Amino acid sequence: MSRILIVEDEAIIRSALRRLLERHDYRVEEAGSVAEAMALDPQRFDLVISDLRLPGEPGTELITRAAPVAVLIMTSYASMRSAVDALKLGAVDYVAKPFDHDELLETVARVLHQQGSLQATPPDIADPGGQARPMIGNCEAMQRVYARISKTAPADVTVLVQGESGTGKELVARALHQQSKRAQAPLICVNCAAIPEPLIESELFGHEKGAFTGASAARTGLVEAADGGTLFLDEIGELPLDAQARLLRVLQEGEIRKIGSVETRHVDVRLIAATHRDLQALSKTGEFRLDLYYRLNVMQIDLPPLREREDDVLLIADALLEKACRRHERGGLRLSRAARDEIRHYPWPGNVRELENALERGVILAEGHLIHPDDLGLTAASGAPPLSRRAAPTQQAPAPEKADSVASAPVDDLSLEDYFQHFVLENQDHMSETELAHKLGISRKSLWERRQRLGIPRKKSSRRKTD
């Protein structure tokens, strides 16, 4: 279903146009000015229909600001001159008010069809071996991502990449770097969540010898190491406030100062930040600096979760399966039809990272040439039985008196987050973080991220205590 943004200051016309489009199965949002339209991020839509004359800036301003999304101009001044001027500025077409309903619908359908046929090319990303491979996916949401990357990469501005954990935010950062003017310079990737808070400022900005206990030698920070290139800060929402203040100075002045030093150094770094958290909401609670948020959010790229990427999930699964087969030297393995169906309909709360883990299990556990649903282990990883087996008519429930008291817990009634919380709290006293992650079928980083999201404190280890 195509999404359309109507920009019109007259409420009567705006609501009438909305009703007309919604009757024909379009998803519609409204704005009364260019400023209101920009607050809705017009690049999230498939088409913008804007009046020419609006309070404040004219509707033609959206032609460049909404790009690559097409803008259809409406005008009650149906002179050839105003229409031609709009087309010269890049409008895809124009309609005159009062407009004929059938003519408008025909124009909208034609424009959307034309835009759909002009697919953006997936950007190439160099793998660890140096071989360039395109990003995978052709769905509508990823087309918008590719278009935003191609326009943003050469601009050398700060970019904020937003998306759930495991959606491929680092791939977007690599694509932006490789299509930028800094492609020959280094790309330094830092996971802010993986560095202990007391060390993060030293890691990012460096320190002088003797600056603190244990600083036996001077150290160059990662920001300085990225000088001339690109710095990618993943999970920037976990950055402590002191480090946020230092980073803000890097963005504003292009200066860094090592811990323990009185001298400043100039650096030329392009920053790409990524997060799965709402930074603007964090700024309201004092957990993230609002001024830093505005500095980061010059351009924003939103990555869709895997569950919203339609048949892309099977394309990604095939590519990940090929890699896993090479890694484990098990050529010729294929997904069974039932496994493909299960992958297609599974919600993938862990996104691509969870899919990769499931396929890794499948390659290891498969006994023949086909990987079956049981080999993927999605039941154990998610706490819910696979879709293909939920209504199996031949499966009989165990008699209540024979069911194990633990195994018969109502797992089917738990949400994924409830199951995760229950499993971690029940087992963290006698399992390490590595063992917990392995049992859940996720990485240690995913385990940490889910702990943070659900507010589950990590159990303090008592192994170091001595008698």
Which amino acid type is present at position 23? R
Q: What percent of the chain has pLDDT over 90?
A: 38
Nearest Cα residue to 367 out of 319, 330, 398:
330
User: pLDDT value at position 128?
Assistant: 57
Per-residue pLDDT tens for 289-336?
999 999 998 888 999 999 988 878 999 999 999 999 999 998 888 999
Residue 118 clears pLDDT 90, i.e. is over it: no
| pLDDT reported for residue 269 | 94
- pLDDT band, very low/low/confident/very high, at 116 (cuts 50, 70, 90): low
Does 244 score more than 60 pLDDT? yes
Best CA proximity match to 264, nearest among 184, 335, 311, 206: 206
The tens digit of pLDDT for each residue in 429-453 reads 888 887 787 777 777 777 777 777 7
Count of other CB atoms within 10 angstroms of residue 28: 18
- Looking at the DSSP bridge assignments, the partners of residue 259 are 207
pLDDT band at 418 (very low <50, low <70, confident <90, very high): low
**Choice between 205 and 457, residue whose per-residue pLDDT is larger:** 205
Cβ within 8 Å of residue 364, ≥6 positions away? 328
Residue 269: how many other CB atoms lie within 10 Å: 22
Q: Select, from the ranges 23-27, 140-144, 268-272, the one with the highest average predicted confidence (pLDDT).
A: 268-272
Is pLDDT larger for residue 81 or for residue 99? 99
267: pLDDT strictly greater than 80: yes
In whole angstroms, give the CA distance from residue 356 to residue 325: 12
User: With 90 as the cut, is the pLDDT of residue 182 above it?
Assistant: yes
Higher-confidence position of 29 and 422? 29
Q: According to the model, what pLDDT value does residue 426 have? A: 80
Q: Report pLDDT for 305.
A: 93
| pLDDT above 70 coverage of the chain, percent | 85
Query: Reduced to 3 states, what is the DSSP secondary structure of residue 218?
Result: coil
134 and 178 in contact (C-beta within 8 Å)?
no
Average pLDDT over residues 120-133: 68
Given a cut of 80, whether residue 84 has pLDDT beyond it is: no
What is the reported pLDDT for 317? 93
pLDDT-based confidence at residue 79 (cuts at 50, 70, 90): low
Question: Residue 379's pLDDT is what?
Answer: 58
Q: Which pLDDT value is given to residue 227?
A: 93
Residue carrying the six token digits 């320190």 = 207
For residue 272, what are its two tokens? 């790409």
Q: Is the pLDDT of residue 39 over 70?
A: yes
What's the confidence (pLDDT) of residue 361?
A: 93
- Residue pair 71/63 in contact (Cβ under 8 Å)? The answer is yes
Residue 6 has pLDDT above 90, yes or no: yes
What integer pLDDT is reported at residue 443 of this predicted model? Answer: 75
